[in-house]
Amino acid sequence: MQEAMRIRHQRFKLLALIAIFALPVIAAWVMVQWRIGIPEQRTAHGELAPDVPQLAQWPLVELTDSLDEGDWVLAFDCSVACAENADRWWRLHRALGREAPRVTRLRIGGAGETLPGELLPGEIGAQWLDVPDWQAPGQVWLLDPRGQVVLTYGREVGERDVMDDLSHLLRMNPDRRSVPERNGDTR
C-alpha cells in the first residue's frame, strides 16, 4: 500500500512538471489559432510609404552630401507656413535631449534663416525640381541613416506623435558610432 502511494505521488509530480512546461505552449497556440488576447493596437503614428524613394533619389535642386553618416533625418516640406513648421520641428528636435545629435532636420523649400540643427543646403536651399506625386505641402518624412523613408506624416500630425515614433526608433536602433565607447574599446 505504501509503495503504491509513493508511485502514485511520483506520477503526480511528473504530470505536474509536464503541465508546467506544456500549458504555456498550449496557451500560446490557442492565442495564435483563435486570435484571443493578442493586442490589435498600432504603435507607429506615421504611415509606411514603400513607394517613396531613398533620399539620394529625391528630385531636389540641391541635394547635399553633408548629412552626417549614421544620422536619422527628419525632412519636412516647408512650402506652407514655413516659419511655423521650422519652429515646430526645431522644438521637437530640442525635446529629444541627448539623442538630438543623432537627428538632422532637412528643410525642403521655404525661405528664412536656418534654426540650430537644421540643414538648409546651398544658397537657395533644397528645393523640388519637380514635385513628385508622393509629396504634399507640409508633409514630414522620417528617414533612417541609409536615407530610406521609414515613416511619413501629413501636415496635421501632432509633434507628440512624431516624437513618440522617433524616440522609439532611436531607442531600438542604438548609435553604432558610440558602440566602442560602451564596450570599453578606446581605439
Q: Are residues 19 and 92 in the same domain?
A: no
Query: At 110, which amino acid appears?
Result: G
In our burial notation (b when 16+ CB lie closer than 10 A, e otherwise), range 39-49 reads: eeeeeebbeeb
Q: What confidence tens digit (pLDDT) does each residue in 116-130 have?
A: 767 765 545 577 788
Query: At 43, which amino acid appears?
Result: T
Query: Can you give the CATH number for the domain in which 166 is found?
Result: 3.40.30.10
Q: Are residues 77 and 143 in the same domain?
A: yes
Q: Are residues 83 and 110 in the same domain?
A: yes
Q: In what order do the strands lie in the sheet with 140-143?
A: 118-119, 103-108, 72-77, 140-143, 149-153
Q: Are residues 164 and 125 in the same domain?
A: yes
Instruction: Show the cell assigned to 137.
Output: 505641402
Find the domain containing 26 and state its range.
Answer: 1-41
Domain count, the chain: 2
**Residue 98, in any domain of the structure:** yes
**Residue 92, in any domain of the structure:** yes
Q: What confidence tens digit (pLDDT) does each residue in 17-72 have?
A: 999 999 999 999 998 888 888 776 666 788 888 888 888 888 877 665 556 677 88
Residue of higher predicted confidence among 183 and 41: 41
CA-to-CA distance for 92 and 87, rounded, in angstroms? 9
Q: Are residues 135 and 103 in the same domain?
A: yes
Q: Are residues 119 and 150 in the same domain?
A: yes
